[in-house]
Amino acid sequence: MADTTPRTARVVVIGLGRFGGSLARELIAHGSQVLGIDSRPAIVQRYADDLTHTAVADTTDETALRQLGVPDYQRAVVAIGTDLEASILTTALLVDFGVPNIWAKATSRQHGRILERMGAHHVVLPEHDMGERVAHLVTGRMLDYIEFEDDYAMVKTVAPAQAVGVPLGQSKLRSRHGVTVVAIKRPGADFTYAAADTIVQPGDLLIVAGRTNQVEAFAALT
């Protein structure tokens, strides 16, 4: 039977260390199908039951990545740890494949600058961007995500259809979804504070605040 999973719901995570492994599990929890790749058989075995697919491979080997179907993925995360050469070469291969959304873990800001020059679309410094937050971004539900203490979060997301065309005061987003629209951004304009009479237009970006599970559910409406 052919795989009918949307291509955007499939993510390849390369490097299953502490950061990559936790990120891969978060992506699974969010409904993505995940191919996890690492060069260490024992590590791959550890995640074999948790991820959709796993493989042992040298990710600097173009042929190995092609055999695993990596060029067909829309989203890829390079979570390789201390092997800077492997991190850079793997990122370069993903760029050559034309993967449209590449996240790459950097161990330092200098490493991050190199990854950006290689063509990574997003560079992650794990001490600032933990696996759960990055998982939200990789799935595409949110454009940015900040979680605070006491189960409270703020997200940037595209306005869902049910919020479009009516003033925020009449959309009842707070009573329906438990979230508050803090700010709004029209295409080509700056963010402005949201008011009750603000009418949301298609393509607007919203900054929304609320309980973590409620803002996650709201972002999933987009």
Q: How many other CB atoms are found less than 10 A from the CB of residue 128? A: 7
Contact present, 41 and 13 (Cβ < 8 Å):
no
Q: How far apart are CA 104 and CA 95, in angstroms?
A: 11
Q: Which residue has the tokens 């065309």?
A: 165
pLDDT value at residue 2: 42
Q: Is 41 helix (H, G, I), strand (E, B) or coil?
A: helix
Per-residue pLDDT, 144: 63
Cβ atoms of residues 35 and 73 within 8 Å: yes
Helices and strands per DSSP (H, E), number in the chain? 9, 11
Q: In terms of DSSP H, where are the helices of the chain?
A: 18-29, 41-47, 62-67, 84-97, 109-118, 131-138, 168-171, 173-177, 212-219
DSSP 143-182: SEEEEETTTEEEEEEEPPGGGTTSBHHHH-HHHHHSEEEE
| Residue 194 to residue 162: CA distance in whole angstroms | 17
Residues lower than pLDDT 50 in the chain: 1-4
